[in-house]
Chain A
Amino acid sequence: MTSPHEFHAMTGAYAVDALDELERAAFERHLADCPDCRAEVAGLRETAALLAETVATEPPAALRDRVLTGIGTVRPLPPEVRSTTRPPHRRLRLLAAAAAAVVLAGAGAAVWQQPWEDGTTQGPTVAQQVLDAPDAQSTSLDFQGGASATVTHSDSLDKAVIVTSKMPPPPEGKVYQLWLDQPGEGMVSAGLMPVERDQTVVLDGAAGTATAAGITVEPEGGSPEPTTDPIALFDFGRSG
């Protein structure tokens, strides 16, 4: 779609945050492979920083107190250790803080009445089997606006199912993508959710080893790894 030449024309807009969200994501993928653009962006960013000198304004003294009090409650991240891959669990925990739009409603609290038949009459569907499994465990989340979602996983079946109710459609050009947090691998895509308010979807992948499931909003077609903070996280209650 976008040629390297076109990307090169974006360095300035990127350096001053004038790309929209999707352009920014695409440009950052390009940036990873283009040392020329990285160097140019760095220089243009330094230049923009000098422009900030011209608008410098002393903030109110009270702000200093709030900032310095505020940092007392925020733990600094450790330096990135380059020789090993980033511990996926830490990433998930950090992202969990961002999932503030959801309210934990307690495990297994919801009773689901939605039809989940897939149109066949060939015995119970995979979804039905998971939901009926003796070792099924559920976590429910309520969203603002009355929507809710429940993830049920069964270790014996190695599968997880998400059941949603009254989910608003994703933003234009976006999809809801499902993830499983796998130890040692991080967030692994578990497929896209069809755009319908009431859903029963079996997550792709081995739920028996996963420690949590998540939902993020991604560009159409989905992403190889989450590009936004999750709107929901379902902890499977495994320690560690």
Chain B
Amino acid sequence: MNHIGPVAAPPPEGGAAGPDLGELLRRAGRADEAAFARLYDATAARVFGLALRVVRDPTQAEEVTQEAYLEIWRTASRYEPERGSPIGWLLMIAHRTAVDRVRSAEAASRRDTTYHQQNQPVDHDATAEAAQTSLEVRRVRGAMAALTEVQREAVGLAFLGGYTHTEVATMLDLPVGTAKTRIRDGLIRLRDALGVHS
């Protein structure tokens, strides 16, 4: 996928010539295991990568990924196209599963990861980058770079870090209540820069 220039249609979901995730999801909802396997193949890197980013521990990230896919399989028939794209729905389930995992673990013992450790690049990022510095990834990185620093950090800590807006406020020395505004502002700016329409 190295054509550059105006893209008439939104980028296909699975990358170039990716499968139709909506169709795979519909068939998975009818207990079609082969369709579900294709859905997994087309999305697992994003689901696992997000889980890994949030929970950090590879073993736990695998557990979160497995749990999320079982939930996707179980509830595929409840997916409503009018409420979002298939990948958006999958990642929402994956993200919530990951966040639930870190927050319940935290209730027992606070994570000792500091904000700076959080931002250290880790090996898998380099691998991911080498594997696919697709146009899409570069586009998203560019849009992230165009945010204000506070917006970028707030969005990153909330979504990729899995922290609550209250925790984000403390980490960034913002008054409680303003982090959620920064998260929203940042996401809106990204949305507009990336041309996402709901």
What residues make up the interface of A, taking CB atoms closer than 8 Å to B? 9-13, 15-20, 38-40, 42-60, 63-64, 66-68, 70-72, 74-80
B40: Cβ under 8 A from any A Cβ? yes
For A75, what are the chain B residues with a Cβ–Cβ distance below 8 Å?
A: 31, 74
Distance, CA A55 to CA B45, complexed state (A): 9
Task: Pick from A10, A11, A38, A57: contact of B52, CB below 8 A.
Answer: A57
Task: Pick from B84, B131, B159: contact of A51, CB below 8 A.
Answer: B159
For B33, what are the chain A residues with a Cβ–Cβ distance below 8 Å?
A: 68, 71-72
Complex contact B75–A51 (CB within 8 A): no
Complex contact B184–A9 (CB within 8 A): yes
Min CB gap B118→A, angstroms: 13
Complex contact A59–B140 (CB within 8 A): no
Complex contact B136–A53 (CB within 8 A): yes
Min CB gap A81→B, angstroms: 11
Give B52-110 interface residues, CB cut-off 8 Å to A.
Answer: 52-53, 62, 65-66, 69-70, 73-78, 83-85, 87-88, 91-92, 95-96, 99
For B168, what are the chain A residues with a Cβ–Cβ distance below 8 Å?
A: 18
Distance, CA A46 to CA B49, complexed state (A): 17
Q: Which residue of B lies closest to A18 (CB)?
A: B158
Complex contact B49–A57 (CB within 8 A): yes
Give B37-59 interface residues, CB cut-off 8 Å to A.
Answer: 37, 40-41, 44-50, 52-53
Complex contact B66–A70 (CB within 8 A): yes
For A63, what are the chain B residues with a Cβ–Cβ distance below 8 Å?
A: 44, 48, 62, 65-66
Complex contact A59–B44 (CB within 8 A): yes
For B181, what are the chain A residues with a Cβ–Cβ distance below 8 Å?
A: 9, 12
Size of B's binding interface in residues, CB under 8 A: 76
Complex contact B36–A71 (CB within 8 A): yes
For A70, what are the chain B residues with a Cβ–Cβ distance below 8 Å?
A: 66, 69-70
Task: Pick from B46, B78, B92, B158: contact of A45, CB below 8 A.
Answer: B92
Distance, CA A71 to CA B47, complexed state (A): 17
Distance, CA A50 to CA B185, complexed state (A): 16
Give B89-141 interface residues, CB cut-off 8 Å to A.
Answer: 91-92, 95-96, 99, 124-125, 127-128, 131-132, 134, 136-137, 140-141
Complex contact B155–A16 (CB within 8 A): yes
28 interchain pairs (CB within 8 A)?
Answer: A13-B180, A20-B164, A38-B83, A42-B88, A43-B191, A43-B198, A44-B184, A44-B187, A44-B188, A49-B88, A49-B91, A50-B140, A51-B159, A51-B160, A52-B50, A53-B137, A53-B140, A57-B48, A67-B69, A67-B70, A70-B70, A71-B70, A72-B33, A74-B70, A76-B29, A76-B74, A77-B75, A78-B77
Q: Which residue of A lies closest to B124 (CB)?
A: A57
For B163, what are the chain A residues with a Cβ–Cβ distance below 8 Å?
A: 18
Contact A64-B87, Cβ < 8 Å, known A16-B183, A43-B197, A71-B33? no
Min CB gap B82→A, angstroms: 9
Complex contact A46–B198 (CB within 8 A): yes
Distance, CA A56 to CA B13, complexed state (A): 14
